[in-house]
Amino acid sequence: MRMDDDGMLSGATFIPSPNCDERPQGCAIDLVVIHNISLPPGEFGGKGVIELFTNTLAESAHPYYKEISGLKVSSHFFVNREGKIFQFVPVGKRAWHAGVSIWRGREKCNDFSVGIELEGTDFTPFTTEQYDALKALTFAIFEKYPVCDIAGHSEIAPGRKTDPGPFFDWNRYRNALKRLSS
């Protein structure tokens, strides 16, 4: 798995999202933000996340969708339960995943971060396939960009967000990255 000069990941399924824009000039990409998402909430395997990120979510498809109708969000990557990676925004562009956020005194984390959504909830363990894909994806990002930090959405938006949640195994993830870089 490699990242090309345009910020596109080999092996990922690219589905372009309109919910992105240019990063500020000269802004280094140095943070990876881990999220979780499922649409409808708590249900896996559907097309809800893809439809949300591409502004094609049908409000009538599920009662919850009325609450998020008109929301303009995206992420650079989405990893489903089987470990398949979808890319919505080239890494060189700013995806709209972090919202109001701050990391190490810097506001607007979308400006300098890569957003990775894992299909899941705060109350469900993630799959081995997801950890394997996340490890390979993170390593590809590290090879191309000067990333020095990894954070959960809850860490950059405390009190507002809770993901990736208590079932995300940070030790497993970080140890896998250490083994890769050794």
Report residue 109: phi and psi, to 5°.
Answer: -60, -25
Q: What angle do CA 159, 163, 165 make, to 5 degrees?
A: 105
Is 117 tagged catalytic?
Answer: yes
Question: Which member of 107, 117, 119, 155 is catalytic?
Answer: 117
Distance CA 108, CA 110 (A): 5
Distance CA 82, CA 3 (A): 21
Q: Which residues contact 25 (CB under 8 A, 6 or more apart)?
A: none
Closest C-alpha among 123, 168, 169, 14 to residue 77: 14
Active site (catalytic) residues: 117
